[in-house]
């Protein structure tokens, strides 16, 4: 990226990305009507840590996140994007409805995503990527 004077812009810091990622997550949490417990489970962080991060992010501050949280946010943002492409009318409903695909074992995608392992978020993201590509 270049500035107005055609000089390279300063790279975005990890803390700046963390704040932006948490603000995006808050928007997604609102759209998906996630409870505080569901939000904590998706990010797999203690309540006190999440409250501190959320307060800082919503105040527009930078938030230095650990790599695991960045990974989780990346999967959640990808899931969100895929759902808006595949199901633009009501993407939030899909995550809560039981799913007969073996990946979900008759439970909802949200249940799978909240299982606690980052791999569960990966599996849901991979499923939606495949669906978008015509493989699911």
Residue-number span of the structural domain to which 43 is assigned: 14-132
- Encode pLDDT of 66-108 as tens digits: 999 999 999 999 999 999 999 988 889 999 999 999 999 999 9
> Is position 1 within any domain?
no
Count structural domains, the chain: 1
> Is position 4 within any domain?
no
> Is position 52 within any domain?
yes
Give mean pLDDT, residues 59-71. Answer: 92
- Encode pLDDT of 19-42 as tens digits: 999 999 999 999 999 999 999 999
User: Is the confidence at residue 5, as pLDDT, over 80?
Assistant: no
> Is position 6 within any domain?
no
> Is position 107 within any domain?
yes
> Is position 82 within any domain?
yes
> Is position 112 within any domain?
yes
Phi and psi (nearest 5°) for 101? -60, 140
Cβ contacts of residue 33 below 8 Å, gap of 6+?
A: 92
Phi and psi (nearest 5°) for 2? -110, 150
> Is position 9 within any domain?
no
- Quickly count: other Cβ atoms within 10 Å of residue 113's Cβ: 23
């Amino acid at each position: 990226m270049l500035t107005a004077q055609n000089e390279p812009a300063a790279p975005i810091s990890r803390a700046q990305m963390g704040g932006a990622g948490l603000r995006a997550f808050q928007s997604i949490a609102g759209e998906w009507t996630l409870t505080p417990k569901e939000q904590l489970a998706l990010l797999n962080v203690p309540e006190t840590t999440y409250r501190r991060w959320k307060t800082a992010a919503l105040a527009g501050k930078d938030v230095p996140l650990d790599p695991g949280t960045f990974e989780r946010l990346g999967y959640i943002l990808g899931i969100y994007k895929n759902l808006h492409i595949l199901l633009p009318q009501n993407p939030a409903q899909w995550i809560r409805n039981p799913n007969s695909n073996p990946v979900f074992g008759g439970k909802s995608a949200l249940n799978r995503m909240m299982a606690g392992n980052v791999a569960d978020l990966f599996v849901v993201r991979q499923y939606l990527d495949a669906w978008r590509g015509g493989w699911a």
